[in-house]
């Protein structure tokens, strides 16, 4: 097998004409004949580059408004015949080989995005282009096929470095790109035509598969793929420092970013096992305090956590981790730190921990339009949970000032929306900062979730309390009385309200919607608890 192939004859037919003149000029330099069609031919000849008109090869004119140009026995044979086994037959049939195809397809995707009508879409379905591309790709041992202008530079380098030839390895790489190109093209057409017929279909494309050390557990294999045409996917994270990311790291990174992705204030999330165990929002001028309050949400669970910020990360902030403390017991162990930008001195400090992954990624750039779950040969698809509430409405005799309470309620909804159901969060405002004080996550029994959230809140209040022991319970009652309990779904019974009230909670937010809502409201009125309905449930399974 000939590993290098001389490019003596090329067929150029492109809708995206970026760089095509420059490529043709380089082909001229190596003595290559250029065959071309329609608009591509006109552009090349306007640049002074002589071309062979396609009809002189096909033996037929372009016809039917350009629908027929390249499809012919002569063109496909020139691309497909095996240069070693079929040489004599090709000679007898007067088939002259074509060594290079440069083709990108009719701009179906572009006209679809522009809102074109159905007839325009149909006219932008390429037939001859995919046929040529696939023929050349199939015969990559002898033919080079290029479908992306981004590959022109490497093609030119090959031609210049190897006296007008291309290598087998290069052609093989381009072959795979070509088949992916036509597969993606056909997939988009297929799903668009399904939609035109009132059918729901979904075809996803992923590439760049990276093998991870293992999956959730050491006996499981795992890979990390990049969704095609997604510029802001997690695969685009800029890893500045640390060891390779694991499967669990990536899951937790996503959870940490999602928890603060739509925060308008400066925000910090601390995530462990896919749940925020710490979360805080506040003013931009005190990021260190923001981290301290987020960490205080569960200092024990924060060990080995993933921490994300939505503002550039400062040295003063990361010094909280005490990574270079001579007393190693005071160093805080974390797995990953993420921020949109990390100051140079902050990065240098984080590098004291050689394995700590330090990543630049902006939470606001996350694409949160749909949520997909692959389940044993099926796919569930839903809109992402991007709406916090449909209303904030007082339902009890003890009414809240909705305007004053709304920032805390919405922070609580954002925190609870990120936590596995059944979930209860308790949030508070402290000196301009909004803090997750305690949470109960992933419980089949909502009462247990409420109990866990209260216990964690009491534990955190104990950690921060500096007064006399005799006054501790009064402090707890005050802090919990000012806090807000947020439920991801309605309360089916009054036991949650009774437990919360007994422990000092005086403000509750829930979506409402239970057949027992009147009973729940009556219990709140009896116990002196204010309750608002938000109208939207936020299960997270």
- Active site amino acids: 138, 273
| CA angle, residues 30, 36, 41, in degrees to nearest 5 | 105
Q: What is the 3-state secondary structure (H, E, C) of 118-132?
A: HHHHHHCCCCHHHHH
Query: 136 vs 75, 91, 139, 252, 287, CA distance in Å?
Result: 10, 19, 5, 44, 57
Strands (DSSP E) found in 216-262: 223-227, 238-241
**Which are the contacts of 47, defined by CB distance < 8 A and separation ≥ 6?**
21, 24, 25
For 424, list phi and psi in degrees, rounded to 5.
-130, 130
Backbone angles phi, psi at 11, to 5 degrees: -115, 120
Asked whether 21 and 110 are in contact (CB, 8 A), the reply is: no
In the chain, how many H helices and how many E strands? 19, 23
Sheet holding 334-339, edge to edge: 238-241, 357-360, 334-339, 305-309, 266-272, 275-282, 433-440, 424-430, 484-487, 507-510, 530-533, 393-394
- Token duo for residue 149: 């202008």
DSSP-H helix ranges across 360-502: 402-417, 446-464, 472-482, 495-502
SS3 content of the chain, % helix, strand, coil (to 5): 40, 20, 40
Q: Compute the half-sphere exposure of residue 223: CA atoms within 13 Å on the CB side of its CA.
A: 8
Q: Which residue has the tokens 């140079």?
A: 344
Return the closest-CA partner of residue 361 out of 483, 171, 234, 177: 234
Q: What is the DSSP letter of 307?
A: E
């Amino acid at each position: 097998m000939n590993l290098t192939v001389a490019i003596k004859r090329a067929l150029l037919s492109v809708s995206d004409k970026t760089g095509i003149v420059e490529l043709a000029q380089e082909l001229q330099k190596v003595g290559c004949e250029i065959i071309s069609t329609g608009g591509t031919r006109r552009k090349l000849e306007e640049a002074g580059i002589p071309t062979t008109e396609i009809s002189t090869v096909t033996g037929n004119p372009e016809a039917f408004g350009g629908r027929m140009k390249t499809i012919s026995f002569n063109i496909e044979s020139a691309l497909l015949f095996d240069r070693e086994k079929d040489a004599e037959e090709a000679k007898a049939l007067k088939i002259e080989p074509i060594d290079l195809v440069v083709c990108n397809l009719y701009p179906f995707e572009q006209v679809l995005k522009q809102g074109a009508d159905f007839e325009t879409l149909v006219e932008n379905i390429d037939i001859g282009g995919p046929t040529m591309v696939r023929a050349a790709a199939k015969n990559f041992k002898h033919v080079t096929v290029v479908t992306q202008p981004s590959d022109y530079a490497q093609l030119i380098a090959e031609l210049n470095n190897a006296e007008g030839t291309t290598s087998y390895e290069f052609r093989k790489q381009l072959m795979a790109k070509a088949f992916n190109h036509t597969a993606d093209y056909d997939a988009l057409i297929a799903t668009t035509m399904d939609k035109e017929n009132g059918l729901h279909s979904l075809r996803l494309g992923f590439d760049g598969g990276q093998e991870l050390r293992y999956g959730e557990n050491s006996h499981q294999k795992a890979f990390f793929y990049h969704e095609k045409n997604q510029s802001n996917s997690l695969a685009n994270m800029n890893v500045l420092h640390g060891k390779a990311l694991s499967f669990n790291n990536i899951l937790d990174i996503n959870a940490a970013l999602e928890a603060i992705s739509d925060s308008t204030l400066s925000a910090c999330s601390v995530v462990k096992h896919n749940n925020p165990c710490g979360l805080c929002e506040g003013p931009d001028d005190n990021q260190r305090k923001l981290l301290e309050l987020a960490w205080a949400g569960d200092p024990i669970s924060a060990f080995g956590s993933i921490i994300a910020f939505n503002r550039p990360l400062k040295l003063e902030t990361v010094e909280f981790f005490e990574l270079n403390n001579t007393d190693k017991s005071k160093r805080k162990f974390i797995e990953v730190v993420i921020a949109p930008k990390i100051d140079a001195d902050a990065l240098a400090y984080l590098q004291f921990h050689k394995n700590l992954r330090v990543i630049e990624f902006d939470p606001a750039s996350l694409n949160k339009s749909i949520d997909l779950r692959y389940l044993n040969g099926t796919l569930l698809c839903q809109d992402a949970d991007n709406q916090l509430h449909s209303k904030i409405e007082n339902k009890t005799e003890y009414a809240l000032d909705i305007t004053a309470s709304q920032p805390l309620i919405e922070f609580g909804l954002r925190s609870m929306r990120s936590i596995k159901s059944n979930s209860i969060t308790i949030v508070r405002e402290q000196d301009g900062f909004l803090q997750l004080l305690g949470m109960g996550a992933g419980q089949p029994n909502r009462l247990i979730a409420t109990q866990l959230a209260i216990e964690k809140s009491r534990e955190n209040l104990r950690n921060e309390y500096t007064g006399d022991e005799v006054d501790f319970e009064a402090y707890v009652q005050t802090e919990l009385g000012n806090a807000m309990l947020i439920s991801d779904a309605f309360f089916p019974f009054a036991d949650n309200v009774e437990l919360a009230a007994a422990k000092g909670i005086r403000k509750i937010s829930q979506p409402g919607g239970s057949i027992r809502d009147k009973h729940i409201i009556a219990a709140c009125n009896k116990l002196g608890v204010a309750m608002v309905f938000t109208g939207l449930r936020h299960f997270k399974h």
